[in-house]
Structures are given as C-alpha cells and as structure tokens.
C-alpha cells in the first residue's frame, strides 16, 4: 500500500521535492484537502491562505525546475501561529482586540521562511495573545477543539497548533518560544510554594 503524502516525514518530502519526484503543487493540494476535511472538527486554523499557498507552490516548482533550489524548506507547506505578523493577512493573536488587524509587513521569522521557499497554508489558533489562559477579550473566532495531551491548563505550545500535526494535516509548524508553556508550569509551582509558605507562616503566628 502506497504511503500517503500527509504520512511522509518532512525530510522525505524535502528530498523528493529536491529530486523533482514530488511537485510542491501536488503536496499543497493534498494538504489543503486534509485541512478541508478535518479543520471543521479541530478548528485549528483562524485564517486559511490557500490561494497564496498555491501561488507559492507554483513559484517553488518553477524555481526548482530552473535549478534555483533554495534548500530543505523549498516547497514545504507550513502554518504560523496567529501571533506572527504576515503582511496583508489577518494577524489577530486570537483576540477580539485585534480582530481586524492586518500587518503592513512580515515578521522576521515569516520573511525568512518565505525566503527559504516555504509555503504558507494559514494562521493557527492559540490562547488569546499566546498568554496561556483565557481573558475577558474572547475573540469571535471559534476556539480550537483540540484538547492537548494532558488535562488542566496548558501553555499555548500544547493546544491548537498541535492539532494539524496530530491529524497529519501539516508536516511541521514553526515552534514559538516554549516560554508560555513553561511559564504556566512555573506559575503553578509558585502558587504552591507561596501557599505552603503562607501556611507555615500562619502556623508560626499561632505558636
């Protein structure tokens, strides 16, 4: 049984594209079908950029055919958490505060990915402003239904951006800092430490 494109690791996809055994256009169309099939369940995407992805995939195919291969990410689809600025494309940070924010320029990470020939499929949901918890400014964009690997409060690295990889919609997504997830765990530890210290202090006062 032939392996489906969405099941292949990024290294193999990259090798096939470089050897011109796989068309970036073919890969993009296969992954767009996966998004359309599963995103109604996961709601991982805030904004889909399929037209841009098709345009970038065609450009990648033409460049590679002309001997202008840029490296391992050339022709590889990806998606960005919606805190990365993308010129002319909604970047809301999944917040009502920025529900109509359209950046005038790309973030540095976005520009570098474009320069490497990567293909943007869309922008992914996150906790509001990647702050690890809900806030009062809840967006009208539906929240992701992906529960994450563990119960309890999760940092942004463990929620909706994982859904496309879990459902094999994307071969990869750029990782943001692990700081929000780490901060969530640190916050919990600090709360427990302070609670314990307070308890000891109260007992000492009673003595």
Question: Quick one: pLDDT at residue 192?
Answer: 44
Question: Quick one: pLDDT at residue 64?
Answer: 97
Question: Quick one: pLDDT at residue 148?
Answer: 45
Question: Quick one: pLDDT at residue 130?
Answer: 82
Question: Quick one: pLDDT at residue 111?
Answer: 97
Q: Which residues contact 136 (CB under 8 A, 6 or more apart)?
A: none
Question: Quick one: pLDDT at residue 204?
Answer: 40
Does this model's pTM top 0.85? My answer is no
Question: Quick one: pLDDT at residue 143?
Answer: 55
Distance between CA 88 and CA 105 in Å, rounded?
A: 7
Q: What is the pLDDT of residues 94-133, one digit of tens each?
A: 888 899 999 999 999 999 999 999 999 999 998 888 875 5
Distance between CA 187 and CA 103 in Å, rounded?
A: 32
φ, ψ at 176 (rounded to 5°): -80, 180
Cα–Cα distance list, 180 to 8, 20, 75, 120 (Å): 30, 40, 30, 24
Is residue 111 a contact partner of residue 135, using CB atoms and an 8 Å limit? no
Question: Quick one: pLDDT at residue 129?
Answer: 84
> Which segments in the chain show pLDDT lower than 50?
1, 135, 137-140, 146-160, 177-207
């Amino acid at each position: 049984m032939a392996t489906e494109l969405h099941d292949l690791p990024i290294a193999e996809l990259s090798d096939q594209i470089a050897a011109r055994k796989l068309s970036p256009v073919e890969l993009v169309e296969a992954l767009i079908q996966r998004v359309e099939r599963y995103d109604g369940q996961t709601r991982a995407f805030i904004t889909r950029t399929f037209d841009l992805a098709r345009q970038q995939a065609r450009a990648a195919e033409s460049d590679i055919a002309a001997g202008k291969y840029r490296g391992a990410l050339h022709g590889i689809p990806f998606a960005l958490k919606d805190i990365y600025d993308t010129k002319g494309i909604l970047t809301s940070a999944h917040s009502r505060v920025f529900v109509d924010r359209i950046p005038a320029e790309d973030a540095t990470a976005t520009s570098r990915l474009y320069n490497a020939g990567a293909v943007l499929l869309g922008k992914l949901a996150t906790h509001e402003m990647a702050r690890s918890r809900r806030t009062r400014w809840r967006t009208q964009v539906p929240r992701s239904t992906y529960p994450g690997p563990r119960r309890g409060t999760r940092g942004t690295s463990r929620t909706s951006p994982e859904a496309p990889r879990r459902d094999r919609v994307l071969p990869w997504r750029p990782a943001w800092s692990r700081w929000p997830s780490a901060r969530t765990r640190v916050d919990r530890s600090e709360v427990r430490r302070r609670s314990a210290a307070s308890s000891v202090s109260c007992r000492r006062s009673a003595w």
